[in-house]
Structure formats: C-alpha cells, structure tokens
Amino acid sequence: EDQVTQSPEALRLQEGESSSLNCSYTVSGLRGLFWYRQDPGKGPEFLFTLYSAGEEKEKERLKATLTKKESFLHITAPKPEDSATYLCAASSGAGSYQLTFGKGTKLSVIP
Amino acid sequence: ETGVTQSPTHLIKTRGQQVTLRCSSQSGHNTVSWYQQALGQGPQFIFQYYREEENGRGNFPPRFSGLQFPNYSSELNVNALELDDSALYLCASSTSGGNYGYTFGSGTRLTVV
C-alpha cells in the first residue's frame, strides 16, 4: 500500500528564517510527486510536480527537490503570507493517476 | 481563479439521508477525481472518472458513487449518510488522465448530524 509521511506536523518560523519540510514516500512505481499549498477552508493549490530523482523546481521563495525516497520543500526567507498547510502527494502504479496524500505540515510564519 | 467550481460550499444533512455534491471543471479537463478530507488530515482518494467512465476507486464503500457528464461537470452521491462522512469534499480535474497534476476546487463542507 502506498504511503506518504510528512514531517514536521507543524512548524513555526520567524519571518526570514529559512527551513525545510520533509515528505517521505513508499510507493510502487512513482509517477509523480506533487506539492500543494492549502489555506484554511480552501482547496489545495498546485505548487510543483517532480518526476524523477535529482529533479528540482523553484517558485519565488520555494524550492522542491526529489530523491528516490524523499522530497523536500525548502522555504527561503519566508514571509507571513507563506503561512499555510503544505501537502505532499504521490501518484503511482497502473491505471488512474490517483494521489496519495500525506497529512501535511502546518507552517506559521511570525512577523 | 482555479477553474474548478464546487457547489454547494456548505451543507448540513441528517444521518441516513442522501446527498449530491456537484463540480464544474474547466473545458478540456477530461479527468475528474473526488477526495474526502477530514479535519487535520490529508485528502483521501474516493474515485476518478476519465471520459465519463470510472477508472479508479479508493477504499470507500459502494454508497459513495459518482457521475461525469460530457459538459465537464460531475457529481458525487453519498447514500445512507453516517456521522463519519462529515468532511471537506474536494473535486479535482485534469487533462491527460491526470498525468500532469490536478486543479482542485475549494470544496464542499459536509456536516452530518
């Protein structure tokens, strides 16, 4: 059974204090590793898709990386508006490209 | 704007009742998936439709059913509601069967009392 585990569950950072969120996955035949941002009461907002180990993608203060067992979301000099829950999801196997999500990391950035 | 619209935004139902949730996707998005997200949890896959046929299902009982229509809209139906069905229900759509990721709607918050 596919599994995605995110850590930490919650993270409080001072504005400007860089850090990383971890996503470890156990899936049979990874097709894609996805990062989403979710604000309270809203649906997940797409950030990145990574397809193979060694791949990196960047968007503003965010950078996502992928290894054969983990993905990291690096946040450089975060701002209060980066506060949200960050979800990691893996797509694998045959058939539909269903996503297996982790429970998320709730990030709070304090001014 | 996400391009995926869900209705209603909030709903309260009584245990044992039936409910229909609706989703309208972007034109050309031939794949739609439904997810259930309990409070403090990640979304859980319910099922997926590709070109109006179900092509994947998660660990949900048959009382969860769906439809996808040619106009890129879809429905999630839940019969015999239970208290544990209370959750945020998310619709996600994509092109190419979902290979390049999904766009999510804002969800329907269902409360079963």
Q: Which positions of chain A have pLDDT values less than 50?
A: none
Distance (Å) from the C-alpha of residue B98 to the closest C-alpha of chain A? Answer: 5
A-chain residue closest to B100, CA distance: A49
Q: What is the β-pairing status of strands B108-112 and B10-13?
A: parallel
Q: Which residues of B touch A46 (CB under 8 A)?
A: 101-104
pLDDT of residue B1: 44
pLDDT of residue B99: 64
Question: pLDDT tens per residue, chain B (113 residues)?
Answer: 458 999 999 999 999 999 999 999 988 888 899 999 999 999 999 999 988 999 889 999 999 999 999 988 999 999 999 999 999 999 999 876 666 678 999 999 999 99
Q: Which residues of B touch A5 (CB under 8 A)?
A: none
Q: CA geometry: angle at B45 spanning B43 and B46, to 5°?
A: 125
pLDDT (tens digit per residue) in A31-63: 899 999 999 989 999 999 999 999 999 999 999
Q: Do A32 and B101 touch (CB under 8 A)?
A: yes
What gap in Å lies between CA B1 and CA B86, rounded to an integer?
Answer: 26
Burial (Cβ within 10 Å: 0-12, 13-18, ≥19) of residue A89: buried
Q: CA geometry: angle at B92 spanning B87 and B98, to 5°?
A: 135
pLDDT of residue A22: 98
Distance (Å) from the C-alpha of residue B28 to the closest C-alpha of chain A? Answer: 17
Rg (CA), chain B: 13
User: Among B41, B102, B103, whose Cβ lies nearest the Cβ of A103?
Assistant: B41
The contact set of A with B (CB < 8 A) is 4, 6, 31-32, 34, 36, 41-46, 49, 87, 89, 91, 95-104
Tally of CB atoms within 10 A around B10? 11
* Share of chain B residues as helix, strand and coil, in percent rounded to the nearest 5: 5, 50, 45
User: Among B97, B101, B106, whose Cβ lies nearest the Cβ of A42?
Assistant: B106
pLDDT of residue B71: 87
Report yes or no: A86 and A33 within 8 Å, Cβ to Cβ: no
Per the rule left: phi > 0, alpha: psi between -120 and 50, beta: everything else, B83 is: alpha
